[in-house]
């Protein structure tokens, strides 16, 4: 499971700037999906040895609400689920009374804390950290989030302390766990019901053993001679405590499950319609590059006009998921559930397909012929050949000249061409450009 680093500190110390710096490698990708907005609170950090989950608690407390607000429940939860806390302070301000108060509270939590002195570009770095020794959090780390100074070293330092298994599995390999399928969705969307269905009744209960709130459950099963592992984000809970639905929902657990999976089933509650949380989850799935099947659940008992409404909402609010297959199911009655796994198989097959260099190059040539890349500074961008650079998600690497100038619209044009020609349903597709040779 990905380690979790949570950013804490007064407003304006630079938490969201640091968050953006640690997660911003994904920006180009988001541009490939018009309409997609990023989750500004939870992200996958890839700067440094990564990946890791990074949580910005900054959206919650504001200056007006003071320190109390910082400690409210959501923050509390994010802190509980953290492996490591970054306590950010502002080099210009020195240690303020509020900083001291927050530290006192943080210390009681017994979590590993690193004191991060941000904005160290604004003063002499040695002076910048001197005042913060009084916080008693050990040696302060001077960084500049805006300029990226000290950030890599900071992450290296944390990773050296994290209890993580370095036994990285090959994400594309279908090992003895089979296809790893994460079921994600809002609380009460029907994930547990769907898992019970998929497994053929009540098997989940046997996994209902005590554990921390952090655990997702890995449930191996077999179907038609094929192995799967379901990753259940609804997690450890008893039927009797269903009213805790909101409580049991954890963005962190969901992100971890997505990262662990090959294919994600996004479960959407047809009775509730498509909400903001669905869009946020969809954004996380796209950023992860995992294959995707959308299950619109609770399809039973809906009138035809209601059904039409849900479909319309989906294609409007989640337009950027047009590569994924929509699947209508009723977890409660079982209708459509068997077919769901067929869709998972297909999405996985597409996500892990081998794409030959001659085929990709031919497709590139025909796309370029039909619609030339633009002139930049009087020279035409040249795209020469393409080959596969990865699977799950498929990555197509395009070689040429001046490729750093390829405009977003042209990138999108190529993605659509490749997607259609290769019939890559159910998986995001990534393009990478290389200049020279």
Provide the binding-site residues for ligand GDP, judged by CB under 6 A.
Answer: 9, 11-17, 58, 118-119, 121-122, 144-146, 185, 187-193, 234, 242, 245, 297-298, 300-301, 330-332
- The per-residue DSSP string of 46-86 comes to -STT--EEEEEGGGT--TTTHHHHHTSHHHHHHHHT-SEEE
Q: CB of residue 274 vs ligand GDP: minimum separation in angstroms?
A: 15
**In this structure, which long-range contacts are made by residues 352-357, counting pairs with CB atoms below 8 Å and at least 24 apart in sequence?**
352/172, 352/174, 352/262, 352/391, 352/392, 353/391, 353/394, 353/422, 353/424, 354/388, 354/391, 355/388, 355/394, 355/396, 355/422, 356/388, 357/385, 357/386, 357/387, 357/388
Cβ-based nearer residue to ligand GDP, 284 or 399: 284
Q: Are 235 and 251 in contact (CB under 8 A)?
A: no
Q: Are 186 and 250 in contact (CB under 8 A)?
A: no
CB count, 10 Å around CB of 168?
Answer: 7
CB count, 10 Å around CB of 377?
Answer: 6
Cβ-based nearer residue to ligand GDP, 105 or 239: 239
Cβ-based nearer residue to ligand GDP, 186 or 325: 186
Cβ-based nearer residue to ligand GDP, 57 or 352: 57
Q: Are 102 and 87 in contact (CB under 8 A)?
A: yes
Q: CB of residue 257 vs ligand GDP: minimum separation in angstroms?
A: 13
C-alpha 342/C-alpha 347 separation (Å) is 9
* Omega before residue 214 within 30° of 0, cis: no
Cβ-based nearer residue to ligand GDP, 188 or 288: 188
C-alpha 359/C-alpha 187 separation (Å) is 44
Cβ-based nearer residue to ligand GDP, 284 or 298: 298
Residue ranges for the binding site? 9-16, 56-60, 118-121, 185-192, 232-236, 297-300
Q: CB of residue 360 vs ligand GDP: minimum separation in angstroms?
A: 39
Cβ-based nearer residue to ligand GDP, 13 or 182: 13
Q: Are 270 and 241 in contact (CB under 8 A)?
A: no
Q: CB of residue 36 vs ligand GDP: minimum separation in angstroms?
A: 22
Q: Are 29 and 287 in contact (CB under 8 A)?
A: yes
Q: CB of residue 234 vs ligand GDP: minimum separation in angstroms?
A: 4
Q: CB of residue 159 vs ligand GDP: minimum separation in angstroms?
A: 21
* Omega before residue 51 within 30° of 0, cis: yes
Q: CB of residue 11 vs ligand GDP: minimum separation in angstroms?
A: 4
Residue ranges for the binding site for GTP? 9-16, 56-60, 118-121, 185-192, 232-236, 297-300
């Amino acid at each position: 499971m990905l380690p979790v680093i949570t950013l804490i500190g007064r407003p304006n110390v630079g938490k969201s700037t640091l968050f953006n710096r640690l997660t911003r490698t994904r920006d180009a990708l988001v541009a490939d999906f018009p309409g997609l907005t990023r989750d500004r609170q939870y992200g996958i950090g890839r700067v440094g040895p990564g990946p890791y989950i990074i949580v910005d608690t900054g959206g919650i407390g504001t200056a007006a609400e003071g320190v109390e607000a910082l400690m409210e429940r959501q923050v509390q939860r994010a802190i509980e689920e953290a492996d490591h806390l970054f306590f950010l302070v502002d080099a210009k301000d020195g240690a303020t009374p509020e900083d001291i108060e927050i530290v006192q509270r943080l210390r009681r939590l017994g979590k590993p804390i690193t004191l991060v002195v941000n904005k160290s570009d604004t003063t002499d770095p040695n002076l910048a950290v001197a005042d913060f020794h009084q916080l008693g959090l050990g040696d302060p780390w001077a960084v500049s989030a805006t300029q990226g100074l000290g950030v890599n070293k900071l992450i290296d330092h944390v990773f050296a302390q994290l209890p993580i298994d370095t036994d990285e599995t090959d994400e594309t390999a279908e090992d003895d766990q089979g296809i790893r399928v994460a079921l994600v969705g809002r609380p009460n969307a029907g994930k547990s019901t769907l898992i019970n269905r998929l497994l053929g009744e009540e098997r989940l209960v046997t996994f209902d053993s005590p554990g921390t709130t952090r655990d997702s459950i890995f449930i191996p099963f077999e179907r038609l001679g094929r192995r799967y592992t379901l990753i259940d984000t609804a997690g450890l809970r008893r039927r009797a405590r269903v009213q805790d639905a909101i409580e049991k929902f954890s963005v962190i657990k969901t992100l971890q499950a997505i990262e662990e999976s090959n294919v994600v089933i996004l479960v959407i509650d047809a009775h509730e319609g498509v909400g903001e949380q669905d869009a946020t989850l969809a954004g996380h799935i796209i950023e992860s590059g995992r294959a995707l099947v959308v299950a619109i659940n609770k399809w039973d008992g809906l009138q035809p006009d209601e059904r039409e409404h849900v479909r319309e909402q989906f294609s409007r609010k989640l337009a950027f998921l047009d590569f994924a297959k929509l699947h209508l199911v009723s977890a409660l009655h079982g209708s459509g559930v068997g077919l769901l796994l067929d869709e998972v198989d297909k999405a996985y097959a597409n996500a892990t397909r081998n794409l030959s260099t001659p085929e990709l190059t031919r497709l590139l040539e025909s796309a370029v012929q039909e619609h030339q890349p633009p002139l930049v500074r009087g020279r035409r961008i040249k795209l020469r050949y393409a080959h596969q650079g990865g699977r799950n998600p498929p990555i197509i690497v395009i070689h040429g000249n001046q490729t750093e100038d390829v405009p977003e619209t042209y990138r999108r044009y190529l993605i659509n061409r490749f997607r259609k020609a290769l019939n890559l349903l159910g998986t995001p597709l990534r393009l990478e450009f290389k200049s020279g040779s």
